[in-house]
Structure 1
Amino acid sequence: MISGTTDNPTIGILDADGHGVDLRNCGVCAPELRALFPVIERFIKELKMIPYSVPKRKGELKHVILTLSDTGAVMVRWVLRTKKHFVALRDSLPQFLELLPRYSVVSVNFLPEHKAVLEGEEEIILTRRTTLEFGLNGVPMHLRPQGFFQTNTEIAAALYRQARQWINDANPASVWDLYCGVGGFALHCAEGDRRVQGIETSTESVAAANLAAEELGQENTTFTAMDATEFALAAEQAPDAVVLNPPRRGISAELAQWLNASSVQHLVYSSCNTNSLARDLERLDGFSAKQARVMDMFPQTNHYEVIVRLERIAS
């Protein structure tokens, strides 16, 4: 979040009152990202960008979203209220790229509304490179602007390893990865002739996931842009196992009902909200939770990830 003034911008987060908290000395934020803060500040000042004030609902620059890859490259997404600063940002790209690591991606997003979201629908990628490449657990992955990726890469890698272990132990012939994002769980669970299908509403995420599957030569792994509940209800045949990684609201009652009535034998549910997880586990009364792990996705906060293994209750 960018706040403060053009001459003295705050780069960090907002407190409960909507005022900026600078993260330049934050021990949780990766040093490689904090090293970019002076670069961001420099361009805010040189291009005379006006930070957005949440309490006043005025200003132009709302966010600068930084994503660090394990390769050292970064994705920088400037989120603007209007296109007032767009031309200046576009024209300054050569100078900006000189100060970024190699293979970085830069884009501009437009969020005209005043609401508690990080990005708007329109995004313009300024660099020739359109995806940020990752390598988690030896699995190449891609992130496009507006694609979802876990906040903490190290914990994301641990989540994927855990899901892969549980899926491989069950050894299903077919797996669905619902709410798959850029395909992390699906790509990790693809083994041998196993058929893996990823479902995600974001077309950007699906494009990145299909690219990774192609690079891996995973011919039996495919990704489709579609609502998870609609996909399940329209399917002619259920898989042997399903991985669920929904947003904070959890899964729909319709999807839980479908899963209970289906022939699915194994579930892996990864959740960032224990309240919706508890509700969904009650709804999934055709299954029994066998194992669970808690992972500290957001250090020094009360947010964490829980991954649960469930099995069909024998009738």
Structure 2
Amino acid sequence: MEYEVVIERLNDQAFGVGYINSKVVFVENAMPGDIVKVEIIKERKNILEGKIKRFIKYSSLRVDSMCKYASRCGGCKLAILDYLETIKYKKEKLEHILKKFGNLDLDIPIVTSNNIEYRNKISLHIKDYKIGYYQASTNELVEITKCNIAMPVINEFLKYLKDFKIKDGSVSIRCNDTNELLIYVKTKDNIVIPEIPLNVVGIVLNDKILRGNYYITEIVNGYKYNVSYNSFFQVNLGVCAKMFDLLDKYILKDSNVLDLYCGVGTLGLSVAKNEKMVYGIEIVSNAIKNAWDNAKLNNISNVKYYCGDVSKVISRIENKIDVIITDPPRSGLDKKTIEVMMKLEPKEIIYISCDPITLARDLKLLDGYSLKYITGLDMFSYTNHVECVSVLYRKSLEK
């Protein structure tokens, strides 16, 4: 049975929201103003999920998608909106979530940069020699030959990926601004390494180096960073550079800084020149090795790095911590980490978040601190995701 639905808004996951007999219905690939005929594919108590069968009327907000795969691969859900409309959506989403879950009524700006050809890394699945992304919330492969949000050299490499003769597995492709490539393959197949007229600096198979290096070198705001195949690094260097500028602007100078979830040392190294000491903690050993290398690469000596769980290694830092920088995963800060942060009583916390809901939760738990500045970052253009930089000061120091 088909139902006619008027789409009124987008939810936080960028599904269109409408109503059927007073029940909320979420509709993928629908935009506010669309009128659609839908088939119900999931039903819970008061929530329905519908699949578009046909359009009765198209929203005036719709534009021709910049990607032919966007409606199926589940990555760029907002590719059927004008870019400025996607920023408006992210601003409203961020403000709504922080008000709903954090009781914060804010006007939050969104920092932008390149919105296509910006990703310096993509991860692809391979099934029966077909290469692509998984459709959202499924294991159904959407075969692709190009990704419009990936940097051009990555798409050049995609032309040769089938020559590796991988039947089943996954491939991560990372590049830098000088068009060097680092390839990470996970598969049980015996692969072939073809001749490729591109600058491939390293190929890693199942955590073993097959050719070249296990890392690639990125440059952001004049700082060099070696990034290993399994280390985290921001995928949008244009927005990353602006994030560094914000960090430099708001961080307390001449301080002892603790960089939690420090990765390859990116954030801490970018501010070290104005600080007494920077201490980094990270659980991925390759990332810590990169961080030490990156300090040497940039001639920075006032840093120390520790590999392990924060609650177990924090006691090795003897100096009083003045500032904490934290960039946790989407799940946010765990209970133990928050307990450690509160015991350290830093003057300032700079919290970089990739999930507004866990950010709102954690801001409440950091109840000894007040929010002084916040901005959104469009790190993942045309997706429903929005990054965020928050600056908090200890309440007991306020005059």
TM-score (ref. length: structure 2): 0.64
The aligned residue for residue 237 of structure 2 is 153
The aligned residue for residue 313 of structure 1 is 395
**Offset of residue 13 of structure 1:** 3.9
Structure 1 runs (4+) greater than 6 angstroms displaced: none
- Report the CA distance shift for 1:155/1:223 in structure 2 as closer, same or farther (over 3 A): same
Q: Is the 8 A contact 2:182 2:214 kept in 1?
A: no
Determine if the alignment matches structure 1 residue 50 to structure 2 residue 157. Answer: no
Q: 195-204 or 246-255, which moves further after superposition?
A: 246-255
**Offset of residue 236 of structure 1:** 4.1
Q: Which amino acid aligns with 1:106?
A: I
- Report the CA distance shift for 1:13/1:37 in structure 2 as closer, same or farther (over 3 A): farther
The secondary structure found in structure 1 opposite 2:159 is helix
**Offset of residue 259 of structure 1:** 2.4
The aligned residue for residue 101 of structure 1 is 199
The aligned residue for residue 166 of structure 1 is 250
Q: Is the 8 A contact 2:263 2:284 kept in 1?
A: yes
Q: Is the 8 A contact 1:164 1:185 kept in 2?
A: no
Q: Which amino acid aligns with 2:245?
A: R
Separation in structure 2 between the aligned mates of residue 156 and residue 75 of structure 1, nearest angstrom? 20
Q: 218-227 or 181-190, which moves further after superposition?
A: 218-227
The aligned residue for residue 153 of structure 2 is 32
**Which one has more relative contact order, counting CA pairs under 8 Å at least 6 apart?**
2
Q: Is the 8 A contact 2:352 2:390 kept in 1?
A: yes
Q: What CA RMSD, in Å, does the superposition of the two structures yield over aligned residues?
A: 2.0
Q: Which amino acid aligns with 1:41?
A: K
Identity of aligned residues (%): 24
Listed as ranges, the gaps of 5+ residues in structure 1 are: 52-60, 110-122
- After superposition, residues 181-220 of structure 1 pair within 5 angstroms as 181-192=263-274, 194-220=276-302
- Report the CA distance shift for 1:296/1:23 in structure 2 as closer, same or farther (over 3 A): farther
Q: Which amino acid aligns with 1:71?
A: T
Separation in structure 2 between the aligned mates of residue 50 and residue 254 of structure 1, nearest angstrom? 42
The secondary structure found in structure 1 opposite 2:324 is strand
Q: Which amino acid aligns with 2:363?
A: L
Determine if the alignment matches structure 1 residue 67 to structure 2 residue 67. Answer: no
**Offset of residue 219 of structure 1:** 1.1
The secondary structure found in structure 2 opposite 1:127 is strand
The aligned residue for residue 116 of structure 1 is none
What does the per-residue CA deviation read over 1:1-42, in whole Å, with 9 as the maximum and x for residues that have no partner?
234433xx2333434332122343432222221111111023
Higher fraction of strand: 2
Give the total of aligned pairs: 274
Determine if the alignment matches structure 1 residue 76 to structure 2 residue 173. Answer: no
**Offset of residue 234 of structure 1:** 5.9
Separation in structure 1 between the aligned mates of residue 369 and residue 387 of structure 2, nearest angstrom? 20
The aligned residue for residue 141 of structure 2 is 20
Q: 171-180 or 252-261, which moves further after superposition?
A: 252-261
Select the residue among 125, 132, 135 that pairs with 2:209: 125
What does the per-residue CA deviation read over 1:194-223, in whole Å, with 9 as the maximum and x for residues that have no partner?
201111001100111110101222111122
Separation in structure 1 between the aligned mates of residue 372 and residue 334 of structure 2, nearest angstrom? 22
